[in-house]
A and B are shown apart, each in its own frame.
Chain A
Amino acid sequence: MLVLLLGCATPVDSGVDSAACADPAVTWDGWGQGFFVTWCGACHSATTPDRRGAPPGLDFDTWEEVQAHRDEIERSVLTEASMPVGGGLAADDLTQLQALLACGEGGDGTTSTAQLPSPALDATGIEAAAATAFAGGVPLATDYWSVYLELVLGHSDGMCPAGGLGAPYAIHAPMVGCTTEDGWYFSGLTLRETTEDADGWSEWMLGDGWAHDLEDHRLVFGGEIEWGADTSGAHPWQTVDGTWGWEAGEGWLAEVPSVSLATEADLATGVVTVTGGWTTGGESVFLDGVDFAPRADDAPSHGTLSVRDPGGAWYTVPLREDGSGCGPATYADGTALGEVCFDTAPLAASLAGIVP
């Protein structure tokens, strides 16, 4: 029987019986728990955040639960092969499962938990971390683009970097780098595309390189940026993903932050919605749908602002809708940390230019 089963990757055609017993016995601790976690846990677990249609209560977290549902498991896995969804069980797994159901042994199992450390920041610490990250303003594609144009056009000698600024290659330097006549060093590649229509135009750029000036300041282009402009000069949308900056520049550019951010402006109301985050000055923030009104110079009144501590835990602050820039801070484990108020003036100031 065992030998026959070894050759089968398809449903086993017989019921569970003692002939399938293995030597040594298949145990819940030794094999069963791992099998059920691997193949069933994502849906059939009391703790799973998404059961994906699994009937409530039909869980296989313990040996007792498996024994209680032995017939259903036997039918759906061994006989009908309707579970796990999509199939994929190997012949060895079927053999082991049959042995476990027929005459397996239980055990205590292993209970694992992922515990967070205690909060490293209090309300004051959250405010301070955010202030550091906010100091340079919101990283905007248009800020970077203008600096990039100036520096590349100002230093390219036609051969280094090659390609000038004509699409599709904004600049193109050998990976081993090249040095311009005035001593700037370029390495890497950027792809560029400009799209125009009656309402305006958009720019897209993908980069993986950098340039050095004579004092070793770096112009970094690593990732993807994109922005749109209407005919009035406003910028209804922008995205910045990657590592961008100019070490001799101003504001956020000087920090060369890591960014993943999108801004969307309602040009009629002047509200700019920011979604995404950046890391600068050693602090990381994430804004989820935070609305700014730079024309009115108000604090944001909508969305959630999150701050990360050095250990990697996040603190979430849903902003009150009263325009105070404040809200209740909550640690990742749900611990309430009291009221937090953010100084978002640098962010609002940096956004003013995209909704003139």
Chain B
Amino acid sequence: MILLLFAACATGDSAAPAPGSALAPLPDERLARRMSLDLRGVLPTNTELDALAAGDTTVNGLRDAFLDDPRFEERLVQLLGQAWRTQVDEFLVNYYEYAAYAARPDAEYPFERGVGEEPLRLAARVAASDAPWPEILTADWSMADEWTGPLWPTDYPAGGTGWQVVHYTDGRPAAGILATNGLWWRYFSTVSNFNRGRTAAIARLLLCEDYVARNVSVVGFASETDTTDVEDNLRTNPYCLGCHSSLDPMATALFGFWPANEYSLDEIESYHPEREPLGPVLLDVEPAFYGQPFDGLPGLASLIAQDPRFGACAAETFAGLLWRRPVTLEDRAEVDDATAAYDADPRLKPVLRALTDGERYRAGAFTSAADDATLTREQVVRMLDAPLLASALEDLTGLDWTWTGFSQLRNDTWGYRLLGGGVDGFYQTRSQSIPGMTWLLVERRAAESAAAWAADHELRGTDTPVLFTAVTVDDSPGSEAFRAQLTLLSHRLYGEAPDDAWIADVEALWGATAPSTDAATAWETTLAALLQDPRFTSY
């Protein structure tokens, strides 16, 4: 049913498509809604939508304002988290191994996010402050919050709270995200792996070169392997050299993060400068980045930052995140446009502007020109996944849905992130693009909770209304106030003006509930239903 409703959304009223195009753009209000959700994680306000309708601003004007909104930084954390996969619920060490948290189960979720979001927040701070994107590889600072900063060798202020810029005090070099504990706790190296897996992660995250996905022949490898010595094979066997000729020389740069025991807190929370010279010795190769010699981790970071694949990878990564699908060869023109924007101005906002200017991002429906390949490839309707649902509902109603410290829509240990279509960073690496049964259950429960929260605080309690601004519990269907409230809700939730039939339906729903309960409960029920409308849960 939900799937059918989603499909119906894709054929809704749209602005005129370009001649011959397979894709029709979203109407401006819905496009502004998509941009607000993608770039801020929240719905546009009615004020913003009214300004758009009145011609006081444009979609691109709103988009640019969203890029300057303080919530852009937080949204980038969530977006990049899907690509960099560091918001995981498990590391090799556990929160309770720190004496400070040994008796605090409520520390688990914030500690794990404190670890995993470190590189994401560094990158988000660079982007939100409009600094050059390569600074994510050259920064001599990082980000930490009160859950990790005081425990790790950083200058996090005593008694501080929240995410703050910090500097490590253990001698690690300036290399941006490549010098963060968060990245290397997620992408750990065993003693015998010698940082090769970490190097593959660098290539995937920053150059969009996925060694693990390479189409290497196992048959050929087996036939040419004349020794069981793994290290010997890695240096001589052509089927190994295909990857390791470039992988291993890069891995030499990471030996300051190479632990003698990957389960030891002392070993993995601190940098080990004295191990830097071990890389070339243990890997038996000279440091090089695809044939270019370098010196140390800053040298590697500098070469990555200057590499043409770095900007192209930023464009490709964010294209996939904003389009909510894998990027293919057919997308090259639009990705090239975004790459060109980066080359002209190497910051992230120009890349996001270029991508959100594109036909693929703005598509809201298919035209009759769409062939089967287009219908299969393109996502003209996006689905609110659990983390996006969380931020949208929190902004809309004030509900911060947590249980014993766990954000219910942002984790899987005690929560519903994965069931709600999110990315767990290990097993699910792309957010769900079409609704499923568990997503439906999660969405329903979240909608009910948010509606109850809003009714409790705005109608039953004394909070200043932010959602129910036009009615009181004394208003009933048919009144001007009631109609005005529904109009406001339709705008806010869906980015659309209501029609008379919809208002009549909603009034009927409210009217069917109120007699057996009270006005506040009727509004709670009504709002819960409105929040399950596919026009709310899609964008």
Contact = CB atoms under 8 A, between A and B. Distances in A.
Interface in A162-188: 175-177, 185, 187-188
Contacts of A98: none
Nearest to A222: B264
B215 A87 contact: yes
Given A29-B308, A86-B239, A112-B307, A38 B274 contact: no
B526 to A, nearest CB: 48
A282 B171 contact: yes
A110 B292 CA distance: 13
B96 interface: yes
A73 B268 CA distance: 44
Contacts of B171: 279, 282, 284, 308, 310, 312
A286 interface: yes
Interface stretch (B75-83, B294-302, B472-480, B505-513): B294-302
Contacts of A276: 274, 278
B232 to A, nearest CB: 14
Given A279-B273, A333-B295, A89 B215 contact: yes
Nearest to B295: A332
B273 A86 contact: no
Contacts of A224: 191, 260-261
A243 interface: yes
Contacts of B306: 110, 112-113
Given A112-B306, A243-B270, A308-B273, A49 B215 contact: no
A47 B296 contact: no
A222 B216 contact: no
B415 interface: no
A208 interface: yes
B359 interface: no
A136 interface: no
Contacts of A29: 308
B264 A223 contact: yes
Interface stretch (B50-58, B331-339, B378-386, B395-403): B331-339
A56 to B, nearest CB: 14
B399 to A, nearest CB: 33
B99 interface: yes
Interface string B280-293: 00000111111111
Interface residues of A, number: 80
A86 B277 contact: no
Interface string B200-218: 0000000101000111110
Given A52-B245, A279-B171, A86 B286 contact: no
Interface in B180-227: 191, 207, 209, 213-217, 220-221
A9 B312 contact: no
B275 A177 contact: no
Most chain B CB within 10 A, of A37, A45, A188, A258, is at A258
Q: Which of A43, A212, A223, A256: most chain B Cβ within 10 A? A: A223
A52 B236 CA distance: 9
A88 B215 contact: yes
A118 B54 CA distance: 58
A307 B220 CA distance: 45
Contacts of A288: 277
A313 interface: yes
A54 B263 CA distance: 41
A274 to B, nearest CB: 12
Contacts of B106: none
Contact of B312 (A34, A85, A241, A284): A34
Contacts of B289: 114
A37 B245 CA distance: 12
Contacts of A222: 260-261, 264-267
B96 A176 contact: yes
A159 B211 CA distance: 48
B267 A185 contact: no
Interface in A274-297: 276-279, 282, 284-286, 288
Interface string A85-104: 11111101001100000000
Contacts of A259: 274
A87 to B, nearest CB: 5
Contact of B291 (A6, A45, A113): A45
A37 B173 contact: no
A116 interface: yes
B292 A258 contact: no
A49 B265 contact: no
Given A90-B215, A114-B295, A288-B277, 10 more contacts: A34-B308, A42-B288, A85-B245, A88-B243, A89-B215, A112-B303, A176-B102, A223-B260, A242-B260, A277-B274
Closest 5 CB pairs of A and B: A86-B242, A45-B291, A223-B260, A277-B274, A312-B173
